Structure 1
Amino acid sequence: MDCNLKWQSLYQIANRLVSQYDLQEIFSMFNQEIIRIGQYDLCAVYMYEGEKLVLKDRKGTQQRQIPENHTIHFGESVLDEVIHEKRTLLLKEITDQPSLLGIDQLAILNLFAAPIIIHEQSYGVVMIGSSKETAFLPDEIQFLTSIVQSLTIAVNHSIQFRHLMIQNKISSLVASHRNLTEIYPQLVNELKNLVQFDGLLITIPHPYREEEIICYPLYLNHQLLVLKKSFLPAKGSATKKLLESNSYMLDNQLNGSIHYYEESFFCNVCFQSVLRLPLTLHNKPVGAIHLYAEDCHHFNQTQVKQLNNLAVQLSPLIEHVIRYNFEEQKRKAKKMVKYIGEHLLRDRDIEEILRISSKVMERYLELDHVFFFIMNDEELTLKMINHQTYEMPPFPLTDHSPLITSFIQNKTLTFHSIADLGEVHSNLKQLQVQSAAIIPLMDAIERRVNGILLVADKKNRNRFTQKSCEINFQLLSQLGTYINRKIKQKELERSNLAIVKALTAALDKKDSETEGHSERVVAYSMAIADALHLSEGERTKLRWGALLHDIGKIGIPDAILLKPGKLTKEEWEIMKKHPEIGFDMIKGIEFLEGATDVVLYHHERIDGKGYPMGLKGNDIPLAARIFAIADAFDAITSERPYKRALPVEHAIEVIKECSGSQFCPSCVNGFLTIPLEILYEIKDSGSQNNQSSKPFTKLYI
């Protein structure tokens, strides 16, 4: 072709190449034009991938001599010089030396090769071959060098456009999702479109534990990994070094060795190259990306620059996703606290509350073991409470274990890299864990410690620190206050119970025929309360009311109360006033206010035919409806001077027959679920003729 025509066609070719965005189209168009203009026998384009050149396109009469997807490894061809020295290469009379190109049976005499260089970084090489002896004269080489430069511009333009599209896609992906679990498969695939790698890891500094980093291994062995965060020590990690320097780290010759903790995730794979990029926002480190490759010198400076730009763009988005995930964890913790708080408001038994709290904390805080230990002032021991099936004897305060030390000194203790909970207390040695923490449960107002919390993790050897315990468990300070309140409440109840028992003892002395009746009806009432799943507050009201139900009889004249025969109509009217007398006696006593329902209404009937108010149905307080069954059952099964005791089975039938008339049906249904052995135990243990029997009321009062 005429020289002028060649340079004119160069302008046209350059415009056509630059107008293309698809790399494969650019390579194909370039090779076609080279063959058309110069009538060469071969034109091939190889691109640089790691430690090898990979064929992208070839044209000419000799194209079939080069296999499709042909690769040339470094050291196999003189094309190495073109790549490493970044200069053109002209070889003459190479027919008998095919090994120079790493291609057998290539029938060309002369060869011209030129590098594709972008920003001083070799991206690939163009190889043009001819069987003509006069090929590649100086002006022809100048023309070919110019057209290769046009190819380089087009390739750079295409790569930049492609990378920009990928970056925008990644940014859009991360910006539109808050959960890393949802986006990481697409994130990995898009990153692989940007740069090839064999392993990928994202690390972030732990927001609460300065000595830890959180790791998300995402990709290994050409497949996505199940997203699961793990924890590593910050000291000795590449992440800590990376974030301190705020600059990328590139190692293209790992030789399979483990330099940092991060590599422990890929210990079964021999990686040769790793590129680490910081994720920073406003000069504050928010994380790091680690890319691994199985071959040496896999990552070049151009890729480093592109990925660094992407990291800068992604940093605020990744930080947003990470912050959202931690906010979600905080929301879970608050939800847990709210859930526990709702149960506290229901005034349940303290051990039930702690069992519920143990189960809830394991779920929301992802803990393997949660144990509460509560102080027993009488025995000077700590009792273990949890929702699982572990049974342990009380822990005496006289031993010198860390568990007792934490309680006595009001001090949070943490344990790292341990084999089992024997490090905490010898009684817990059978529980294998890797880390644990003991946190005192202190009343925020009185600053009094009444128990401790023991938490443990089986997988993470560095789960707990002083700072993380303060942040995570300060939300549970209400438990310490609740425990202290319940303990003081129990102490007050014991004192009040002694007063009430003194009153009932006085009544029993006055009316010896009903001696033991008050304690038995308390036990029956508590058994029904258990069957109906009453709250602790409702149980307390019922307990006091059952003990004091007949306290008004103290105001009944002895001539009527102790009369052996049948009462006259006038006498019976006086006797029927004992509920109101009892109510007047206790209504001004604060701790007995809950007992008034039973004292005043225990002779009401569900059909409205009772006394003193003639209430009907659910207008009768629940405690009084329950007690009415307990009172009647004890009266039927107890012996009196004027009647014999009837069998328990007969009393049950009477209660059933009176359901809906005298007694509340729902309360009767609860009563009928009580096992016979419980009813017999209460009846026999409280009989007048069995004074040496065990005090059954301790089970229910």
Structure 2
Amino acid sequence: MFKHNLLNLDALKEFVCFLHGSWDKEVVMIELLRILKDILGCSRASAYLLDDGEFKLKAKIGGPDLLNSPQAIRQCQALAANFNLDDDIGVPVLLNGDLYIIPLKSPGELYGVVLYEVPKPSQALNDMVSIIATQASAALKNNWLADEKKMINEIISTFNSGPDLQVYYPRFAQKLKQIAPFDRLTITIPEPFYADSLIVYAEDSKNPFSVTRAPYENSAPSWVISTCQPIVENDLSENRNFLEDELLLNSGIRCALRVPLMSRGQVIGSLNIGSETPNAYSQREITLFIEVADRIGPAVENALVYEAINEKLGRALGQLDETFSAVLNALTVLLDKRDTGTKGHSLRVVRYAVAIAENLGVEGRELDDIRLGSLLHDIGKIGIPDSILFKPDKLTDEEWVIMKTHPKLGADIISKLGILSPALPIVLHHHEWFDGYGYPDGLAGGEIPLGARVFTIADAFDAMTSNRPYRKAKSIDEAVTELVRGRGSQFCPVCIDAFMRISLKELTSIYEECQFEVGFKSSCGIE
């Protein structure tokens, strides 16, 4: 007997040493059953882990699963509900005959159970089983803690995506569900500019990400912020303590958990989850949510600063855009009068160029750049002497050399005004030809910026269909024939094809509308 006990102690020491390694939970359960078989000589044993409220089989020895009937499962669940979770010492309990059950637990947590058959139980063997189960429970706890740490790190990593809450909030919500299921998630922050309001960033099972405002006074976040304490309302159908609780209940939420968001030692808001199931959150889940809230607080605060700056910047840019547009409109009128004397020329070429570009699939900021460049294409003619610019006769070779400097004069003007820099490619290259015989740089084909290739067609079409002092306007059909004749030489073939997809009705409408007003407005705003 003494020798047998020494062997049992050696086996137990070996098991404890094994548990000091980093093992998956399934491996721990397999080794647990092995040591039980070696020490107890049990013929059958099954090990289960608790997963979403159900016992899932992870290992077994000898014969079928011991929870192989609904009656056995109900009996096991009833016993599990009454296990003492105040400490980490598990005690074997007789189920029936020679079948015993022992919990795998730590204070406040049940990880699983082991069922085993032992033909000749004794107090000494029961004590040995308690020691083995306690050691296995400690290993499972460490495993769970490692999993939780990894899980929390993954959740926190979503906040490294950048300062825009709208970008990473859905991913954050998805990963946060690994800690505990929820049907509604909100981050609630006091409104920076209005003390009586809250900003609510929400994501739930029924609606996508949204940002709304809510009253601050008598709200749960105001209580959390003032007390720096978490609060859980286990069943809103029985008790509702805060202003928003009635709305939550009406939307199907029964249980609500709010924890403080911390940044640099200060409470900046609250992290809130809600479940349609009453009593949904355990102390462990509350503890995990508090850790998440502590760690995401600085990132949330940075996002708030980012959004506040963006909001103010947006308003400022809106005002700047209006001022910028007014200045451009005035400049457009002056350029039209100085060069062509034709009312609406600059706006018409803008509209034609935009129509061509849209047929090429250009959009957004690139389209705005084409719009701006088309508007300012001849700004360099400000530097051309009036004697040349307004000469009614044919220019001499020397005068023509001077006239051809206006693209570079315009580029010099634009380059000194950073806000107008997107116009530079068209201003500099709108007289380049597709075959390389244009000016000022003799670029050919794809070397010519797309905006300039587009604009050259718009400008040529408007010039041909407008009356000038020295000639009458061509008809649209005549102008189109000339453009097609220049396909591949003066004009980009792809851009000509895009121009040909503009309807006659649209071309006529552009000409008529631009006879009476001049206006410029960017689609994206000016930055």
On whether the aligned pair clears a TM of 0.5, the verdict is yes
Instruction: Work out whether residues 580 and 612 of structure 1, in 8 Å CA contact, stay in contact via their aligned partners in 2.
Output: yes
Q: Which residue of 1 aligns with 2:292?
A: 468
Instruction: Work out whether residues 608 and 615 of structure 1, in 8 Å CA contact, stay in contact via their aligned partners in 2.
Output: yes
Question: Does 1:308 find its partner at 2:131?
Answer: yes
- Alignment CA distance shift 1:164-1:382 (3 Å): closer
Residue of structure 2 aligned with 1:329, choices 151, 156, 160: 151
Query: Which amino acid is the alignment partner of residue 490 of structure 1?
Result: G
Distance in 2 separating the partners of 1:186 and 1:604: 74
SS in 1 for 2:126: helix
Q: Which residue of 2 aligns with 1:577?
A: 405
Query: Which amino acid is the alignment partner of residue 632 of structure 1?
Result: I
Q: Could you give the per-residue CA deviations for residues 302-359 of structure 1, whole angstroms, max 9, x where no partner exists?
A: 33445435644874x5565445434433543465344x23xx7xxxxxxxx6654344
Deviation of 1:513 after TM superposition, in Å, equals 3.9
Distance in 1 separating the partners of 2:250 and 2:333: 55
Distance in 1 separating the partners of 2:392 and 2:311: 46
Under a length normalisation based on structure 2, what TM-score does the superposition of the two structures give? 0.59
Distance in 1 separating the partners of 2:455 and 2:155: 44
Question: Does 1:640 find its partner at 2:466?
Answer: yes
Distance in 2 separating the partners of 1:438 and 1:603: 65
Q: Which residue of 2 aligns with 1:496?
A: 320
Distance in 2 separating the partners of 1:491 and 1:587: 27
- What is the percent sequence identity of the aligned residues? 18
Deviation of 1:298 after TM superposition, in Å, equals 8.7
Instruction: Work out whether residues 503 and 551 of structure 1, in 8 Å CA contact, stay in contact via their aligned partners in 2.
Output: no
- Alignment CA distance shift 1:692-1:589 (3 Å): closer
Residue of structure 2 aligned with 1:191, choices 21, 32, 55: 32
Q: Could you give the per-residue CA deviations for residues 473-526 of structure 1, whole angstroms, max 9, x where no partner exists?
A: 533544334434433443343343234323321233231241423753685588
Deviation of 1:387 after TM superposition, in Å, equals 12
Query: Which amino acid is the alignment partner of residue 291 of structure 1?
Result: V
- Aligned-residue CA RMSD (Å): 6.4
Distance in 2 separating the partners of 1:192 and 1:287: 21
- Alignment CA distance shift 1:388-1:466 (3 Å): closer
Instruction: Work out whether residues 380 and 406 of structure 2, in 8 Å CA contact, stay in contact via their aligned partners in 1.
Output: yes
Instruction: Work out whether residues 417 and 434 of structure 1, in 8 Å CA contact, stay in contact via their aligned partners in 2.
Output: yes
Distance in 1 separating the partners of 2:391 and 2:233: 76
Distance in 1 separating the partners of 2:167 and 2:504: 32
Q: Which residue of 1 aligns with 2:172?
A: 361
Instruction: Work out whether residues 349 and 458 of structure 2, in 8 Å CA contact, stay in contact via their aligned partners in 1.
Output: no
SS in 1 for 2:86: helix
Deviation of 1:597 after TM superposition, in Å, equals 4.0
- Alignment CA distance shift 1:423-1:683 (3 Å): farther
- Alignment CA distance shift 1:498-1:198 (3 Å): same
- Alignment CA distance shift 1:478-1:291 (3 Å): same
SS in 2 for 1:516: helix
Q: Could you give the per-residue CA deviations for residues 287-308 of structure 1, whole angstroms, max 9, x where no partner exists?
A: 7655365999999553344543
Q: Which residue of 2 aligns with 1:625?
A: 450
Query: Which amino acid is the alignment partner of residue 508 of structure 1?
Result: T
| Greater relative contact order (CA < 8 Å, ≥ 6 in sequence) | 2
Following superposition of structure 1 onto structure 2, how do residues 27-176 of structure 1 map, counting pairs within 5 Å?
Answer: 152-153=1-2, 155-156=4-5, 159-160=8-9, 163=12, 171=19, 175=21
Deviation of 1:471 after TM superposition, in Å, equals 1.5
SS in 1 for 2:113: strand
- Alignment CA distance shift 1:219-1:384 (3 Å): closer
Under a length normalisation based on structure 1, what TM-score does the superposition of the two structures give? 0.47
Following superposition of structure 1 onto structure 2, how do residues 56-455 of structure 1 map, counting pairs within 5 Å?
Answer: 152-153=1-2, 155-156=4-5, 159-160=8-9, 163=12, 171=19, 175=21, 177=23, 183-195=24-36, 200-201=48-49, 218-219=56-57, 222=66, 241-242=86-87, 247-250=88-91, 252=93, 274-275=102-103, 277-278=105-106, 289-291=111-113, 300=123, 302-308=125-131, 311-312=134-135, 315=138, 318=140, 321-333=143-155, 335-338=157-160, 340-341=161-162, 356-366=167-177, 400=215, 423=244
- Alignment CA distance shift 1:612-1:384 (3 Å): farther
SS in 2 for 1:612: coil
Q: Unaligned 5+ residue runs, structure 1?
A: 1-151, 178-182, 204-213, 225-235, 256-270, 279-284, 345-352
Instruction: Work out whether residues 260 and 293 of structure 2, in 8 Å CA contact, stay in contact via their aligned partners in 1.
Output: yes
Q: Which residue of 1 aligns with 2:40?
A: none
Distance in 1 separating the partners of 2:331 and 2:218: 48
Distance in 2 separating the partners of 1:308 and 1:424: 47
Question: Does 1:514 find its partner at 2:340?
Answer: no
Distance in 1 separating the partners of 2:493 and 2:85: 70
Residue of structure 2 aligned with 1:589, choices 409, 417, 420: 417
Following superposition of structure 1 onto structure 2, how do residues 599-618 of structure 1 map, counting pairs within 5 Å?
Answer: 599-604=427-432, 608-615=436-443
Query: Which amino acid is the alignment partner of residue 461 of structure 2?
Result: I
Deviation of 1:578 after TM superposition, in Å, equals 3.3
Following superposition of structure 1 onto structure 2, how do residues 11-26 of structure 1 map, counting pairs within 5 Å?
Answer: none
Q: Could you give the per-residue CA deviations for residues 639-670 of structure 1, whole angstroms, max 9, x where no partner exists?
A: 522545748xx79x959954x985497xx69x
- Alignment CA distance shift 1:186-1:324 (3 Å): closer
Query: Which amino acid is the alignment partner of residue 303 of structure 2?
Result: L
Distance in 2 separating the partners of 1:568 and 1:383: 71
Distance in 1 separating the partners of 2:270 and 2:475: 51
Query: Which amino acid is the alignment partner of residue 611 of structure 1?
Result: Y
Instruction: Work out whether residues 586 and 596 of structure 1, in 8 Å CA contact, stay in contact via their aligned partners in 2.
Output: yes
Query: Which amino acid is the alignment partner of residue 457 of structure 2?
Result: A
Query: Which amino acid is the alignment partner of residue 188 of structure 1?
Result: M
Distance in 2 separating the partners of 1:387 and 1:608: 59
Distance in 2 separating the partners of 1:439 and 1:557: 71
SS in 2 for 1:509: helix
Instruction: Work out whether residues 47 and 114 of structure 2, in 8 Å CA contact, stay in contact via their aligned partners in 1.
Output: yes
Instruction: Work out whether residues 604 and 615 of structure 1, in 8 Å CA contact, stay in contact via their aligned partners in 2.
Output: yes
Instruction: Work out whether residues 553 and 582 of structure 1, in 8 Å CA contact, stay in contact via their aligned partners in 2.
Output: yes
For the pair shown, which has the larger CA radius of gyration, 1 or 2?
1
Distance in 2 separating the partners of 1:681 and 1:630: 20
Deviation of 1:191 after TM superposition, in Å, equals 2.2
- Alignment CA distance shift 1:438-1:588 (3 Å): farther
Residue of structure 2 aligned with 1:505, choices 329, 332, 349: 329
Query: Which amino acid is the alignment partner of residue 625 of structure 1?
Result: L
Distance in 2 separating the partners of 1:222 and 1:371: 44
Instruction: Work out whether residues 518 and 548 of structure 1, in 8 Å CA contact, stay in contact via their aligned partners in 2.
Output: no
Instruction: Work out whether residues 432 and 442 of structure 2, in 8 Å CA contact, stay in contact via their aligned partners in 1.
Output: yes
Deviation of 1:629 after TM superposition, in Å, equals 1.6
Point out the more displaced range, 584-593 or 518-527. Answer: 518-527
Q: Which residue of 1 aligns with 2:340?
A: none
- Alignment CA distance shift 1:201-1:596 (3 Å): same
Query: Which amino acid is the alignment partner of residue 614 of structure 1?
Result: G
Q: Could you give the per-residue CA deviations for residues 611-647 of structure 1, whole angstroms, max 9, x where no partner exists?
A: 3333456665xxx423532563475379522545748
Distance in 2 separating the partners of 1:691 and 1:544: 19
Q: Which residue of 2 aligns with 1:233?
A: none
Distance in 2 separating the partners of 1:618 and 1:607: 10
SS in 2 for 1:241: coil
Q: Could you give the per-residue CA deviations for residues 568-590 of structure 1, whole angstroms, max 9, x where no partner exists?
A: 66565444433333333343334
Aligned pairs, how many?
458
- Alignment CA distance shift 1:388-1:305 (3 Å): closer
